[in-house]
Amino acid sequence: MKDERLGLFRERAFVRLFGAQTVSVFGDAVAPIALAFAVLDLTNSPTDLGFAVAARTVPMIALVLAGGVWADRMPQQRLMIGSDVVRFATNGLLALLLLTGSATMWEIVVLQALSGAATAFFRPASTAVLPRAVRADRLQHANALLHLSTSATWVVGPIVAGALVAGIGAGWAVAFDAVTFGVSAAFLLGLQLPPGVPAPRASFTTELWSGWTEVRTRTWVWVSLGAFAIFNVVWGPFWVLGPVVARAELGGPTAWALIAAALGLGSLAGSVLSLRYVPRRPLFVAHAAVIAAAPTFVLLGSHSPALATAALALPMGMSLAVGNTLWETTLQRFVPQGSLSRISAYDWLASMAFNPLGAAIAGPVAAVVGTQMTLFAAAAVVVATEAVALAVPAIRRFPQLGQAPHLAEYQGARVA
């Protein structure tokens, strides 16, 4: 079994995809810290920092559905390389402006917007390219390894970012981020994939609408996307109100760092577990895993000791990692290749749009009903939403990933 799982590293296509994602995500983990200190060094204005972050996020949200259409219209590999080249150029130019002391806020905003737009086209394509790079029976292992890489880089990346900013400056940290996109593009250039089956093309508008049709005619897809979107809304208050509780009640930043670290370690452990665990009902387990987040919200809202909250954050991170792996693998196995990018674009939208929304409303809601009640309500919403999803037959009875006796039923337009 071990050779079967890690044998993916003997497959050239997967190694290149793994290398591209690992390097690129490492840059993504460095970028927020590098950008934050670059803007603060330039203007010392939290408002300007907010504009810079929004400039990257808004195009990602606005264009991700279009990115899904284009990823289904053209070779995903080519679109991913193009996106990496754009991000290499925009971040490289930003680094040059910062290092020469000539950067202005409007230049930072424009370059961040271009980088965010390129990311919107990259992400749906990256979801759809994996099933062409590995065998169907190895998809869960591949996703688990990619999640393991992502979890590890998000632990190490901020540490490296802090060292770069403190040691040689924010401009060089941004330059490092730019280089990672160049390395990612180099990995993807050598990627050899089996030829895709050409599909008849319609107008862009028609294909954009058909993407929504592909979602709404698959009950298991739209119910899952709705449930995950709601979770992303309540996920925002966890990260916004968590530090507030830690500072006021738990002893300060060290307490919050302990909780966040436990969550990250749990995510790593969940990725390792996903290499071994193949449930009979993958969607049922994916949704049930999300419920594991609720107790941590409750403990945080109850102002429980940081150690106790961290102890629950560990299995929370593990469950969410397993759930993410099972969900992505299910999409890749049971959605036809010609529609996968468009459907995955809605998946990305559920994360990129609703998570910032939750973060934005966390403070105002807590100001009205209190921090404790907001976190308790978030836990209740998680449990209620996933209970509804688990009651849907199309999710509860979804077949095993590797043994789908009625695969056409789940790929097709009608799933009860």
Q: What is residue 202's predicted lDDT score, i.e. its pLDDT?
A: 62
Tokens for 136, please give them: 């169907």
Q: Residue 374 in contact with residue 233, Cβ under 8 Å?
A: no
- 136 Cβ partners below 8 Å, 6+ apart? 333, 402
Domain 2-196 sits in CATH 1.20.1250.20: yes
H or E stretch covering 361: helix 354-369
Query: Are 2-196 and 211-411 in the same CATH fold?
Result: yes
Q: What is residue 410's predicted lDDT score, i.e. its pLDDT?
A: 41
Q: Residue 318 in contact with residue 351, Cβ under 8 Å?
A: no
Read off the pLDDT of residues 45-76 as tens digits, 9 standing for 90 and up: 767 776 777 778 888 888 888 877 777 777 77
Percent of the chain scored above 70 by pLDDT?
A: 90
Read off the pLDDT of residues 82-109 as tens digits, 9 standing for 90 and up: 989 999 999 999 999 989 888 888 888 8
Longest dimension (CA), the chain: 62
Other residues' Cβ atoms within 10 Å of the Cβ of residue 216: 13
From CA 355, how far away is CA 347, in angstroms rounded? 12
Tokens for 7, please give them: 């044998």
Read off the pLDDT of residues 169-224 as tens digits, 9 standing for 90 and up: 888 988 988 999 999 999 888 777 766 554 556 666 777 777 777 777 888 888 89
Read off the pLDDT of residues 217-256 as tens digits, 9 standing for 90 and up: 888 888 898 898 899 888 878 877 887 788 778 777 778 7
Q: What is residue 197's predicted lDDT score, i.e. its pLDDT?
A: 53
Residue spans per domain, the chain: 2-196, 211-411
Question: Could you tell me which residues are beta bridge partners of residue 403?
Answer: 400
Domain 211-411 sits in CATH 3.90.79.10: no
Read off the pLDDT of residues 152-172 as tens digits, 9 standing for 90 and up: 887 777 778 778 888 888 889
Read off the pLDDT of residues 259-298 as tens digits, 9 standing for 90 and up: 877 888 888 888 888 888 778 788 888 899 999 889 999 9
